[in-house]
Amino acid sequence: MSVDCVFCKIINRELDADIVYEDEKAIAFKDINPAAPVHILVVPRKHIPSLKDLEKSDEALIGHLHTIANEIAKAFKLDNKGYRIVINCGADAGQIVFHLHLHLLGGRPLLQTIAKGRGV
Ligand code: AMP
Ligand code: ZN
C-alpha cells in the first residue's frame, strides 16, 4: 500500500472504478481513458511500483495476473478474435501510474506496433 497511489486507492475503495473482477490477490477495472473498445487494467493488490521491481517471490503473482487477463478476455468475448497484453515499465515506455498493471486491450484490430500509446 502506498498512500499517494491511485491504484492503491481504488483497491482500498477510496476511489471509484468500474471493477470487472477481483480476488484476494488482484483486481481488474476499466481504464478511465480507453485506447480500445475493451481496455481493462489488471492490478495486483500488492503495491509493486513497476515491472523492474518484481522479486523472485512475485513470480506466481505475475503468472496469476496473466491467467486473470485471459479469463476477463473470455468474459468480454475477445478470446476468438484476439487481444493484447501490455506492461509499461518506466518513463520511456510511458508508464504514468507506478503501481504494476497489465493492460488488456481488444475489441478492434490493433496496430502492429509494440507501443501502447493512444494509437495502439
Ligand atoms: P501506464 O501508462 O501503463 O502507467 O497506464 C496507466 C493507465 O491508467 C492509463 O491508461 C490511464 O488511463 C489509467 N488510469 C489512470 N487513472 C485511472 C483511474 N482512476 N481509473 C482507471 N484508470 C486509470
Ligand atoms: Zn499502489
What is the tens place of the pLDDT at every residue in 11-29? 999 999 999 999 999 999 9
- In the sheet that holds 26-30, the strands lie side by side as 19-22, 26-30, 38-44, 102-106, 83-86
Neighbours of ion ligand 2 (CB under 5 A): 2, 5, 7-8, 47, 99
Q: pLDDT over 90 for what percent of the chain?
A: 89
Compute the Cα dihedral for 25, 59, 35, 107 and give only its sign.
negative
Atom of ligand 1 nearest to the CA of 88: 3
What is the tens place of the pLDDT at every residue in 64-88? 999 999 999 999 999 999 999 999 9
Catalytic site positions:
101
> What's the gap in Å between 6 CA and the centre of ligand 1?
9
> What's the gap in Å between 4 CA and the centre of ligand 2?
8
> Can you give the pLDDT at residue 120?
54
Return the closest-CA partner of residue 115 out of 35, 41, 42, 54. 35
User: Out of 3.40.50.2300, 3.40.1380.10, 3.30.428.10, 3.40.1390.10, which CATH number does the structure's domain 6-106 have?
Assistant: 3.30.428.10
Atom of ligand 1 nearest to the CA of 15: 19
Residue 106, C-alpha cell as written in the block: 481488444
> Can you give the pLDDT at residue 113?
61
> Can you give the pLDDT at residue 115?
54
**Domain limits of the chain?**
6-106
